[in-house]
Amino acid sequence: MSLPALGHTSEHSKSERPILPIGAMAFARKVAAEYQEIETGYRNARWGFVASALKSYRKLLKESGSYEELCAEDNISLLREKPALERTSRLALYFHTGARNEAERNTAGKYARIVDYLHQQHINSADAADYIRDEGGIEAILQKARGQESEDDVVETQQGDEPDSDAPEDGKETPTRSSAPKKGKDKIFDPEKDLSIRVGGEACAEVLAPEIPMSDLFYLECKKVGLVGREGIRIVGRLVERPSK
């Protein structure tokens, strides 16, 4: 009987060789690296989407009949408010995102704010993604957009702050929301959460927080910030927690 050649290892001995487990922290670092890769890809994809949306919006502005085509889309046609493309990119972003309910329109409205800001700043569509990155990302641009709205008193279209109705149009034109001029940005005022109240010959209020259910109580911290005309007083209010008794 011949002996096995030197250096020969049987298949049986290979299968029994133990596999060393990866350490807990080493595996945690691997998972963290995977997450960072996903997060980076998501950020880049969002910046790219905004750049494409900006390009699309500008093409819609130039092409005759684009507004009518957007208004005929099934997720837009029943909305009561359909602002002109010259005023805002909101309808375009509703279409781009396929927004069909309040939460989705709020998200689309935030993107519309960013697209409007980039358009007003004359940012080239091809450079938009890099511009967003260099300025600190989506949230940083959104803050700049809100600040620009506050300074310029652009309150005709509060994208994402008030839900559009899905009910059919009743043939009556919905009044455009307006606000009194401001001399500067009110630090107390956050248009994502707060109310804008105007008191004059008649009192009216704009609720800018759609998450508040109808008939529910809410509490405000208010500040008088200026006069409106001869008799009006402009007040901004911030939603606060219910005061303790």
Q: What is the pLDDT of residues 48-69, one digit of tens each?
A: 999 999 999 999 999 999 999 9
5 pLDDT more than 60: no
pLDDT of residue 195: 56
> At residue 184, what is the residue type?
G
Q: Which residues contact 183 (CB under 8 A, 6 or more apart)?
A: 226
**Which phi and psi angles does 44 have, rounded to 5°?**
-60, -40
141 pLDDT more than 90: yes
Chain centroid to Cα 126, Å, comes to 21
Rg (the chain; Cα; Å): 27
Average pLDDT, the chain: 75
Q: Which 3-state string (H, E, C) describes 76-105?
A: CCCCCCCCCCCCCCHHHHHHHHCCCCHHHH
Within a 10 A sphere around the Cβ of 48, how many other Cβ atoms?
Answer: 13
pLDDT of residue 69: 96
pLDDT in tens, 78-123: 998 899 999 999 999 999 999 999 999 999 999 999 999 999 999 9
pLDDT of residue 152: 56
**What is the mean pLDDT of the segment spanning 26-36?**
94
- The answer to whether 177 and 191 have CB atoms below 8 angstroms apart is no
**What is the mean pLDDT of the segment spanning 213-242?**
68
- The answer to whether 163 and 180 have CB atoms below 8 angstroms apart is no
Classify 227 as helix, strand or coil.
strand
188 pLDDT more than 70: no
Confidence of residue 130 (pLDDT cuts 50, 70, 90): very high
pTM over 0.85: no
Report the candidate in 108, 105, 117, 106 with the shortest Cα–Cα distance to residue 142.
Answer: 117
Burial of 150 by CB count in 10 Å (0-12 exposed, 13-18 middle, 19+ buried)? middle
Distance CA 27, CA 29 (A): 5
β-bridge partners, 197: 205, 235
136 pLDDT more than 70: yes
DSSP string, 162-192: SPPP-SPP-SSPPPPP-----SS--TT--TT
Listed by start position, the domains of the chain span 31-152, 180-245
pLDDT of residue 48: 96
